[in-house]
Every structure is written in C-alpha cells, then in structure tokens.
Amino acid sequence: MNHGQRGRLITLEGGEGAGKSTLLRGLEAHLRAQDIDLVVTREPGGTAVGEAVRGMVLDAANNELCAEAELLLMFASRAQLVRQVIEPALAAGRWVLCDRFTDASYAYQGGGRGQPVDRISGLEQWAALGLRPDITLLLDLPVSEGRARAAGRGEADRIEVEGDAFFERIRRAYRERAVGDPGRFRVLDASATPDAVLAQAVAGVSGLVAGVSP
Ligand code: Z5A
C-alpha cells in the first residue's frame, strides 16, 4: 500500500519483560495482512553499526560504562538507523515498525540514569533529525511482573542487573511521556494475555491503518 505518501512510523516501548518482542511478531503479521509494505527493526541495533553498539551497551562486562557514554551510544545507534533505514523507508512510502526508539532514551537514560531531559531532546533534534513516531504503543506492566517474566531468560545483561527502583523510575518516565503526548501514545495493559495485548495494539493503530490521522 503506497499511494505516493510518506510512510508511517510505529514504535513499541515498555519496561523489561513487558512483551514487546511477543507483540511485535503479532503486529507485524497483522500489518502485513493489511497489505502494508513494512520494515521491522529495533533499537539499539537495526544496522551493522547499531548492532555493534547494542553488543557494547548490553555486555555485562562493560560495567564501567558511564551514563553519558551510554546515552551517546544509544543516539549513535539511532543516528545510523534513522539515516540508513528509517528515513529512506518512510520517504519511499514504506511503514516502519521499530522495537524501541527515542522514548526509551527519555525513560532509561533520563528517568533511569538521571540524564538531563534538555540534553536528550537536543540529541533527538540533532542525531535523530527530530523524528517522532506516528504512534507509540507503550506496554505498561508492574515492574515485578515484567522482571519475573524476564527472569526465565537466563543471564541478565548490563541494564537488566539494575534494581527495582531503577525500573520503577523508567516506568514512571514512560507514563509521564504518554500523559504528555496523548495523541501519539497508546498505553496498553501488558498484564493481559498475549492475544488481548495484540487486540489492544491493533485497535491502537486502526486509525492509522485506515488512513485517518492519529
Ligand atoms: N535501551 C536504553 O536504555 N535506551 C534506549 O534508548 C534504547 C534501549 C533504545 C535492550 O532493549 C535494552 O536497551 C533495554 C533498554 C535499553 N534494556 N533493558 N532492560 P530490548 O528491547 O532489546 O530488551 P528488553 O527491554 O530487555 O526487552 P525484553 O526484556 O526482551 O522484553 P520484551 O521484548 O518486552 O518481552 P518478550 O520477550 O516479548 O516477553 C518476555 C517474556 O514474557 C517471554 O517469556 C514471553 O513469552 C512472556 N510474555 C510476553 N507477553 C506476555 C503476556 N502478555 N503475558 C504473559 N507472558 C508474556
């Protein structure tokens, strides 16, 4: 489906174990079934450079990484992804479904690590070209539930080793962003079954899919 229009950007956000990867698979299938020409990607990552950055920031051995370097690395991955993948796809009329985007930097590096919001928004304008998603699906879940789900997955990465207070700040930051931008955010009850979460997501993007502005 490309009527010569710019494509749309949909992002998935949430805390650890919220079910983004699970939802992504279902939502991808739903959008493709609507004949939407879709690019699926993730952050940090999505390009060769970005995946190398991902390895660096998630490697538990890099425990000396400071908060400022972490923030810049997230935006290094994003700068590459926006220019190499997302912008060309949108310009060609393709849709992009991205597992995390700039809201994650506001939540994790801002809320979680205490990095100043004005620094993050400056980077958003410069490194990410001020690009904002058309719709952001926020999977909201109590921290304890998300952590219990994620615990079954084996060894924790460098960010997952943080304590509950860190993840509570992240949840709060995400929810505040959703309140501040209700036209863009759809807050999903991620404690529901996977099918019910998908149904909420499908409802959340239905206006966009129907060609109605969000
Ligand atoms: N990060 C950052 O700090 N700053 C940034 O700017 C960006 C990222 C972009 C990598 O992200 C890390 O990078 C992440 C934030 C940071 N660090 N942390 N923590 P990621 O998205 O790749 O990794 P993640 O946040 O750790 O996601 P995740 O833990 O892999 O979870 P998920 O994808 O949201 O969940 P899932 O794999 O779909 O589900 C987890 C488990 O729950 C699994 O066993 C499922 O079968 C189960 N599940 C899923 N849905 C349900 C429902 N509805 N009910 C019951 N069980 C379910």
Q: pLDDT, tens digit, for every residue of 149-159? A: 988 777 889 98
Q: Is residue 196 part of a domain?
A: yes
Considering Cα of 199, then 212, then 185, then 23, what sign does the dihedral take? positive
The pLDDT mean for the chain works out to: 95
**Does residue 3 carry a pLDDT above 60?**
no
106 CA from centroid of ligand 1 (Å): 17
62 CA from centroid of ligand 1 (Å): 20
- Residues sharing a CB contact under 8 Å with residue 59, sequence separation 6 or more, in sequence order: 157, 158
Q: Is residue 42 part of a domain?
A: yes
**Does residue 213 carry a pLDDT above 60?**
no
Task: Please tell me whether residue 21 adopts helix, strand or coil conformation.
Answer: helix
Q: Is residue 1 part of a domain?
A: no
Mean pLDDT of 69-93: 98
- Give the residues across from 188 on adjacent strands: 139
Task: Please tell me whether residue 74 adopts helix, strand or coil conformation.
Answer: helix
Task: Please tell me whether residue 188 adopts helix, strand or coil conformation.
Answer: strand
DSSP state of 159: T
DSSP string over 170-188: HHHHHHHHHHH-TTTEEEE
Mean pLDDT of 117-136: 98
Q: Supply 208's token pair.
A: 């966009």
Residue 85 burial (C-beta neighbours within 10 Å; 0-12, 13-18, 19+): middle
**CA atoms of 201 and 214, how far apart (whole Å):** 13
**CA atoms of 157 and 140, how far apart (whole Å):** 21
Q: Is residue 35 part of a domain?
A: yes
Report the domain count for the chain: 1
Mean pLDDT of 23-28: 98
Mean pLDDT of 17-29: 97
**Does residue 191 carry a pLDDT above 60?**
yes
Q: Is residue 2 part of a domain?
A: no
Residue with tokens 């489906």: 1
Q: Whose CA is nearest to atom 57 of ligand 1?
A: 19
Please give the number of the atom of ligand 1 that sits closest to the Cα of 139: 34
DSSP state of 139: E
Residue 37 burial (C-beta neighbours within 10 Å; 0-12, 13-18, 19+): middle
Residue with tokens 């400071």: 66
**Does residue 203 carry a pLDDT above 60?**
yes
User: 21-25, 136-140, 153-157: lowest mean pLDDT where?
Assistant: 153-157
88 CA from centroid of ligand 1 (Å): 27
DSSP state of 187: E
Mean pLDDT of 181-209: 98
Q: Is residue 57 part of a domain?
A: yes
What stretches of the chain show up as alpha helix (H) in DSSP?
20-33, 48-58, 67-81, 87-91, 102-104, 117-126, 143-151, 164-180, 194-209
Domain extent, residue 138, equals: 9-210
Task: Let me know the angle formed at the C-alpha of 27 by 149 and 184, rounded to the nearest 5 degrees.
Answer: 95
Q: Could you tell which of 113, 159, 161, 197 is best to mutate to test the pocket of ligand 1, judged by most ligand atoms within 8 Å of the CB?
A: 159
Any idea how long the chain is?
214
Instruction: Report yes or no on whether pTM surpasses 0.95.
Output: yes
Report the pLDDT value the prediction gives residue 206, as an integer from 0 to 100: 97
CATH number of domain containing 104: 3.40.50.300
Q: Whose CA is nearest to atom 30 of ligand 1?
A: 17
